[in-house]
Amino acid sequence: MSDAGTLYVVATPIGNLEDMTPRAVRVLSEADLIAAEDTRHSGRLLRHFGIGARAEAIHEHNERSQVPRLVEILKGGKSIAFITDAGTPLVSDPGFHLVRAARQAGIRVVPVPGACAAIAALSAAGLPSDRFVFEGFPPAKSAARRAVFEKLREESRTLIFYESPHRILESLKDMSEVFGPGREAVLARELTKQFETLRAGGLGELLDWVGRDADQQLGEFVILIHGLPRAEREVIDEAAGRVLEILLEELPVSQAAALAAKITGLKKNMLYEYALTLKKDA
Ligand code: SAM
């Protein structure tokens, strides 16, 4: 498919227009077509950089239906530059179906990297960054959100979430309850913009702080949570193990596990399983 065009996946700024790369400006200027999540929104960016190319809307509601047509345009030898409202396309943004279909059709897909809120936040948060898990937006409803957090409670890697201003308080509250108020976290708000704020603290402290100051509930947020440190897990296991051993000398497994759960705050099921292994080893 050597005569086919190229699909460029172009990152745009997340607030500060100085973060637009010269390469992004050139690729957008040279593309035959710009596919944008919101043509009105991107129109401002394109005008700012004097880019006159034709822009078409590709958003989460029409992406699937537009993909075959865009792939045909690419096959016909035209190049398309794809942008979303802010940051890196496909990262909690549309573009996945287009990129997948283009690649499956043998079309060259070229990333033009730039800003991404998750990575910008991680780079300045001071939390372990050698391993991390990007979770995107937590579910909107509390029960589903808490279920997601429960599954991540023992995760040792740094967790990264996106959150919107109308759910920031509810989400922080659920996080504080599930991960514990003392779990170290960083709230990164309005990155690269006038009111950029990076605040570190326990989840409980961050919840109080945001709750007390209405200004801190405005804008765009990345929440980063320290993973459960390995050392802490070992200390918990060791301490819980000692408690269980003592209780098992006097009590049956299920009672020992229930009491140990009350004493240590750990899950009864987990302690029960552990008690069974202690019994087996004895
Ligand atoms: N594709 C984008 C990226 O590369 O980061 C993310 C798009 S997603 C629809 C928008 C969310 O990203 C916001 O609700 C917020 O959680 C996060 N975000 C985007 N810009 C941000 C900024 N300047 N500061 C903090 N968070 C931001």
- The answer, yes or no, to whether any atom of ligand 1 lies below 6 A from the CB of 94, is no
pLDDT score at 74: 98
Using the atom order of ligand 1, give the atom closest to the CA of residue 162.
Answer: 16
Q: Which amino acid is at 189?
A: R
pLDDT score at 177: 96
Q: Which amino acid is at 72?
A: E
- The answer, yes or no, to whether any atom of ligand 1 lies below 6 A from the CB of 86, is yes
DSSP letters along 177-224, please?
HHH-TTSEEEEEESTTSTT-EEEEEEHHHHHHHHHH-GGGGSS-EEEE
pLDDT score at 29: 96
Neighbouring residues of 238: CB distance < 8 A, sequence distance ≥ 6: none
Q: How far is the CA of 268 from the centre of ligand 1 (A)?
A: 38
Q: Which amino acid is at 87?
A: G
How crowded is residue 81: how many other Cβ atoms within 10 Å of its Cβ? Answer: 25
> How far apart (Å, rounded) are the C-alpha atoms in residues 92 and 81?
18
Q: How far is the CA of 30 from the centre of ligand 1 (A)?
A: 27
Quick one: which of 151, 212, 143 has its CA closest to 174? Answer: 143
Q: How far is the CA of 203 from the centre of ligand 1 (A)?
A: 20
- The answer, yes or no, to whether any atom of ligand 1 lies below 6 A from the CB of 6, is no
> How far apart (Å, rounded) are the C-alpha atoms in residues 218 and 190?
9
Using the atom order of ligand 1, give the atom closest to the CA of residue 87.
Answer: 4
Pocket test for ligand 1, best of 162, 192, 194 (most atoms within 8 A of CB): 162
Q: How far is the CA of 247 from the centre of ligand 1 (A)?
A: 50
Q: What are the DSSP E strand ranges found in the chain?
A: 6-10, 33-36, 55-57, 80-83, 108-112, 132-136, 158-163, 184-189, 197-202, 221-225
pLDDT score at 233: 64
Tokens representing residue 210 in the block: 């945001």
Residue at token pair 């396309």: 89
Instruction: Confirm if 55 and 66 have CB atoms less than 8 A apart.
Output: no
- The answer, yes or no, to whether any atom of ligand 1 lies below 6 A from the CB of 221, is yes
Mean pLDDT of successive 10-residue stretches along the chain, which has 282 residues: 89 98 97 94 93 86 92 97 98 97 98 98 98 98 97 96 97 97 97 98 97 94 92 69 91 92 84 80 66
- The answer, yes or no, to whether any atom of ligand 1 lies below 6 A from the CB of 208, is no
